[in-house]
Chain A
Amino acid sequence: MEKNEIICLICPLACNIELKVAGENIVDITGFQCKKGKEYALQEYKSPQRVLTATVRTTDKTRPLLPLKTADPVPKKLLIPCMKILAGKEVSPPVTIGQVIVENIMDTGINVVATREFPTDNLGNT
């Protein structure tokens, strides 16, 4: 039997929730103080998801990187594979905030979108 510890992030109490797992089955779950916490822990154990925030290279030397994010959380185990895919990409201006840079990354159904404006002219300057 395996013990898994998950810190709940729903509220500032940050309960330490413990799941006892035997093979595929969750035998017991303790430490939560509300229903939301229990649901969070189960979800987190079964299929933890995270929003990926990263950068992608650009063709503009004055702004060599463009920040972006997955529009929704993706499975945690795909974070690094997604980074590898993004490492091979390059974008050129103009790009608008929210524009899709990679569609349906790794077949998750989730898009990677730009998190800033990237106009064609150089950084605005006086």
Chain B
Amino acid sequence: MNMPVDVLVIGGGPAGLAAAIKARETGVENVLIVERSEELGGLLYQCIHNGFGLQYFKEDLTGPEYAYRFIQKLEKLKINYLLKTMVLDVTPEKQVLAMNATQGVIRLNPKTIVLAMGCRERTRYNILVPGTRPAGIFTAGTAQRLINVEGYLPGNRVVILGSGDIGMIMARRLILEGAKVEAVVEILPYIGGLIRNEVQCLRDFDIPVFLGHTVTEIHGLNRVNGVSVSKVNGGSSPESIKKIKCNTLLLSVGLIPENELSLNAGIKLDPVTGGPIVDENMQTNVQGIFAGGNVVHVLDFVDNVSWEAEVAGLSAAKYVLGELSLPTKNIKVNAGNGIKYVVPSYISGQKKVTLYMRVSEPSQNATIKVVDDIKENCLYKKRMLIARPSEMIKLTLTKRCIESLVKQVKSLTVSCVGGK
């Protein structure tokens, strides 16, 4: 199969959908989404819980309902898509190799590409949990797929490692389906996800939570029959090890942007985010290849995924139409004290831009500051009553703010100071 494509979107999840729709709305006809799963929507269809769209639609929607809004628009705009189609390779010259059962080998040479592949889950092996290798160990997302889409419950006595949102959501899901959640174990001294989930998933069901603990051993030969849980830095003395009987261990220990294709295409990745280094147009170091959504950095709300991916889609479309003004200079945006990372890494200093960032530690009454590298002029200051690493912080540098940048500025530093 060989067809001319102007904007190729790799991934049909929330990022891909938003990017494709925006590209079409900006005036590009030939937009194609390539999706590896059986349907569009990405992980939204297995996220049957609500909390989606609170900002984007100002409504409290479930994952499938959020997906539906975009898929409806996509169908209306008659945007083409391929399902059960895997992209195998992307070259720096934007040559794409994909495959599916009906068309077989598909080679495309699109004018632009938007990478929207999302993330994979961190595994038990990535975090080096000792013990045996019995059946019954799952990452939370895989378990969610099995329970909500395929219709199978992995087990009925569950320990969950990690108190991120996925872990907490799955705790509630398991209880509602009749399983027992013996414990949620969290290595940090605070809950990893949203407070709303702490209340509605853990406290509502009296699930025991072990903060500052981790799973130090998995037991069981053919099937999990228990896990050892110890206080972090608590030593290996027998008193500090709790053995919890269970037949299932769920891991919710982080997401990793899935960038193998990006590496093939010669795209430079940021070692902190694990995703491509992008500028304010969400363009990577390869001309004409853009990226948006979790493949760039793990976002918290799908609303932000949609907004960010729309920038990528808009930019890709403008590139095709010859309207994407290449920045005359690249001002580097650095993560300073108290900030884990900032996206994008480069801005032009010619238009307003929204910066996404995460703080490295929770703090109260801190101030987010953006200063330049000339005289440390402060461009932007924002007081944060509460700042948490699990909650993405967005700040917009307005046109006026950007215009105040001195011509010689080469970089800006974002930091989070003064908090407790």
Contacts and interface: CB of A to CB of B under 8 A. Distances in A.
Tell me, yes or no, whether A binds B.
Answer: yes
Interface of A: 7, 9, 12-14, 48, 50-55, 57, 64-65, 67, 69, 76, 79-80, 83, 97, 115-117, 123-126
Contact of B148 (A13, A55, A57, A124): A55
A124 to B, nearest CB: 7
B62 A7 contact: no
Contacts of A124: 39, 83
Contact of B83 (A7, A83, A125): A125
A13 B385 contact: yes
B386 A126 contact: no
Contacts of A48: 204
A65 B84 contact: no
B129 interface: no
Contact of B68 (A55, A65, A69, A116): A116
B206 to A, nearest CB: 12
A65 B177 contact: no
Main secondary structure of the interface of A (DSSP, over half): loop
A49 to B, nearest CB: 11
Q: Which 8 A-B pairs have the closest CB atoms?
A: A67-B48, A116-B64, A64-B151, A14-B195, A115-B62, A53-B49, A115-B64, A115-B65
Nearest to A57: B151
Given A12-B385, A64-B151, A123-B39, A51 B50 contact: yes
A67 B62 contact: yes
A67 B148 contact: yes
B148 to A, nearest CB: 6
Nearest to B49: A53
Contacts of B199: 7, 9
Given A9-B196, A12-B391, 13 more contacts: A7-B203, A13-B386, A50-B204, A51-B50, A51-B60, A53-B49, A69-B48, A80-B176, A97-B65, A115-B65, A124-B83, A126-B84, A126-B85
B261 interface: no
Interface in B111-164: 148-151
B354 interface: no
Contact of A65 (B63, B82, B83, B148): B148
A63 B150 CA distance: 8
22 contacts: A48-B204, A51-B50, A53-B49, A53-B50, A55-B148, A64-B151, A65-B149, A67-B45, A67-B63, A67-B64, A67-B148, A79-B176, A83-B178, A115-B62, A116-B64, A123-B38, A124-B83, A125-B84, A125-B102, A126-B82, A126-B84, A126-B85
B298 to A, nearest CB: 20
B23 to A, nearest CB: 20
B264 interface: no
A50 B200 contact: yes
B68 A97 contact: yes
B103 A55 contact: no
B95 interface: no
Given A50-B204, A54-B176, A126-B102, A69 B385 contact: no
Contacts of A55: 48, 148, 151
B239 to A, nearest CB: 29
Contacts of B85: 126
A30 to B, nearest CB: 19
A125 B35 CA distance: 11
B406 to A, nearest CB: 34
B377 interface: no
Given A12-B385, A53-B49, A126-B83, A83 B62 contact: no
A108 to B, nearest CB: 17
Nearest to B41: A116
Nearest to B62: A115
Contacts of B67: 116
